[in-house]
Amino acid sequence: MALSTRIKGSPTAPRISDEALRPFVGYSIKRAMNVIRADLRDVLDPMDLRMITFSALTLIGDNPALSQAQLAAALSVERPNLVAVIDELYGRGLISREKVPTDRRTYALRLTTQGARLLARATEAVQAHEDKLLEGLDPDDLATLRRVLADIERNGTERS
């Protein structure tokens, strides 16, 4: 079944067929991710969070004393690009940065009480977002999807 797309903002414009792109798994993943990202933005905006800041808070919460370098690696983000995220979270009082006594250049990141509270609220909202998007999917299909996505990630990681 070919899907088609109407040009945004133009209800009378003809539908554009993307049938030639649909056989590409990457294209389908990107289209699905666009839907997920747009919905997630609506969920996180009221808490003044983005996907990257939510992800960073989650990893810091699950891994107290995580370094910025470890966080950057876990998020697959260049270390310099993560600095703005860390500065934002720190500036909002959501995380603390403590010098590591054995390495003066490294900071251990931890959630503050305020950060933990916000993360709990955000996690609940993100779970509801996922539940809504995945509604109706068979649990076995969902498990297969997660396994296949992990396989794709692993294959890409092993090649680089």
pLDDT per residue as tens digits for the range 47-84: 999 999 999 999 999 999 999 999 999 999 998 889 99
Amino acid at 86: I
Q: Which of 7-11, 122-126, 136-140 has the lowest mean pLDDT?
A: 7-11
Q: How far apart are alpha carbons 126 and 25 in whole angstroms?
A: 25
For residue 112, pLDDT beyond 70: yes
pTM: 0.84
Q: What confidence score (pLDDT) does residue 113 get? A: 98
Domains detected in the chain: 47-125 (1.10.10.10)
* Bridge partner residues of 97 (DSSP): 109
> What pLDDT is stored for residue 14 in this prediction?
82
Report the C-alpha gap between 42 and 50 in whole angstroms.
10
pLDDT digits 0-9 by tens, 33-52: 999 999 999 999 999 999 99
- Helix H or strand E encompassing 107: strand 103-111
Q: What is the structure's pLDDT at 124?
A: 98
Mean pLDDT of 98-123: 93
Q: Is the pLDDT of residue 10 over 70?
A: no
- The mean of the pLDDT values for the chain is 91
What whole-number distance in Å separates Cα of residue 64 and Cα of residue 4? 46
3 has pLDDT over 70: no
- Specify the long-range contacts of residues 94-101, CB closer than 8 Å, at least 24 apart: 94/57, 94/118, 95/57, 95/60, 98/65, 100/65, 100/67
